[in-house]
């Protein structure tokens, strides 16, 4: 099998085309994982960009491609809100993906953002990840088959915000985070866990992301200022699915350098 490049940048006309390509890749990765290990363990992203991808996966074009009862769903981060809150990353995915696909509740592993003690919520999530993977929660991080991520206009990803130093986090898989820019508490997977994944797929769309994307991919390396730069899979594939608007500030040669299949 032809070895895949470690980092792939694919540019699409718009969010719809990006989402369709992401749905194809999601299904390919899930089916490969299920074929190889009888299940796929996937981390969903929050935010609004992945919503169309999630919707597409429930359509007749995609829903029949995957044995959904063999997929385990986790989240890369969560807001400090109850699961029925309109800001909940769990709620968005549950509404547009998990409920329409009738995913068994035992395969839905949400972060308990509603807890007063967010460190306890983070520790509980680490234990749940360890349980599902059948590993020890204080050992090497397990490898998700696919992690979906987005980036903010400030270069954050998951709930790894500028100025918060978790890149040096050498043991924790999940931590509480206070995001000063939005004065909000969050719970997030750490780069240590995210970078263990087999595949990491960033979904980036819209002109408002163009500056951040160009800085993250082509700017000075400064992960504290641009946390998305902390995401460098140890041995997995890093994929950037971007639309033309978000790619507007990329140096063309950069995009050409990274494989950009037609």
The CB-based long-range contact list for 11-15 (8 Å cut-off, 24+ gap) reads: 11/242, 11/243, 11/244, 11/247, 11/255, 11/260, 12/241, 12/242, 12/243, 12/244, 13/243, 13/244, 14/205, 14/243, 14/244, 14/245, 15/49, 15/52, 15/205, 15/206, 15/243
**223 belongs to the binding site for ligand 6PG (CB under 6 A):** no
In this structure, the number of other CB atoms found within 10 A of the CB of residue 185 comes to 15
- Kindly indicate which of the ranges 22-30, 39-47, 134-142, 192-200 contains the residues binding ligand 6PG, using the contact rule CB under 6 A: 39-47
Q: Which stretch binds ligand 6PG (CB under 6 A): 8-16, 47-55, 98-106, 128-136?
A: 47-55
Phi, psi (degrees; rounded to nearest 5) at 243: -95, 170
| Contact yes or no for 9/258 (Cβ under 8 A) | yes
Does 98 sit near ligand 6PG (CB under 6 A)?
no
Residue 233 binding ligand 6PG, by CB under 6 A: no
Query: Binding segment for ligand 6PG among 18-26, 32-40, 151-159, 238-246 (CB under 6 A)?
Result: 151-159
Report the residue from 158, 179, 196, 239 that binds ligand 6PG according to the rule CB under 6 A: 158
The yes or no reply on residue 152 touching ligand 6PG (CB under 6 A) is: yes
Select from 43, 49, 164, 215 the one that contacts ligand 6PG (CB under 6 A).
Answer: 49
Distance between CA atoms of residues 158 and 42, nearest Å: 14
Give the tokens for residue 169.
């986090």
CB of 145 to ligand 6PG, least distance (A): 19
Please tell me the number of Cα atoms within 13 Å of 247 on its side-chain side: 23
Chain positions 72 to 91 lying near ligand 6PG, rule: CB under 6 A, are 76-77, 89
Give the integer Cα–Cα distance in Å for 239 and 245.
Answer: 17
- Between residues 40 and 148, which has the closer beta carbon with respect to ligand 6PG? 148
Task: Pick the piece of the chain touching ligand 6PG (CB under 6 A) from 57-65, 98-106, 150-158, 235-243.
Answer: 150-158
Q: Which spans of this chain sit near ligand 6PG (rule: CB under 6 A)? A: 45-49, 76-77, 89, 150, 152, 156-159
């Amino acid at each position: 099998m032809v070895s895949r490049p470690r980092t792939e940048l694919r540019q699409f006309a718009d969010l719809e085309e990006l989402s369709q390509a992401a749905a194809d890749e999601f299904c390919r990765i899930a089916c490969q994982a299920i074929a190889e290990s009888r299940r796929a363990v996937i981390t969903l992203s929050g935010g609004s960009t992945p919503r169309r991808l999630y919707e597409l996966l429930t359509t007749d074009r995609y829903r029949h491609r995957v044995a959904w009862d063999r997929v385990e769903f986790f989240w890369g981060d969560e807001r400090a809100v109850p699961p029925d809150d309109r800001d909940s990353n769990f709620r968005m995915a549950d509404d547009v993906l998990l409920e329409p696909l009738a995913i068994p509740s035992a395969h839905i592993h949400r972060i308990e953002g509603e807890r007063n003690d967010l460190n306890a919520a983070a520790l509980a999530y680490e234990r749940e990840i360890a349980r599902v993977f059948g590993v020890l929660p204080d050992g090497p991080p397990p490898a998700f088959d696919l992690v979906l991520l987005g980036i903010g206009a400030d270069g954050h990803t998951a709930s790894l915000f500028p100025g918060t130093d978790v890149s040096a986090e050498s043991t924790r898989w999940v931590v509480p985070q206070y995001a000063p820019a939005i004065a909000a508490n969050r719970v997030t997977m750490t780069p240590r866990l995210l970078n263990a994944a087999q595949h990491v797929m960033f979904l980036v769309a819209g002109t408002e992301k163009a500056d951040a994307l160009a800085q993250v991919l082509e700017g000075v390396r400064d992960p504290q200022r641009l946390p998305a730069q902390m995401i460098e899979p140890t041995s997995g594939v890093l994929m950037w699915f971007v639309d033309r608007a978000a790619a507007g500030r990329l140096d063309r040669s950069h995009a050409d350098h990274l494989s950009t299949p037609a």
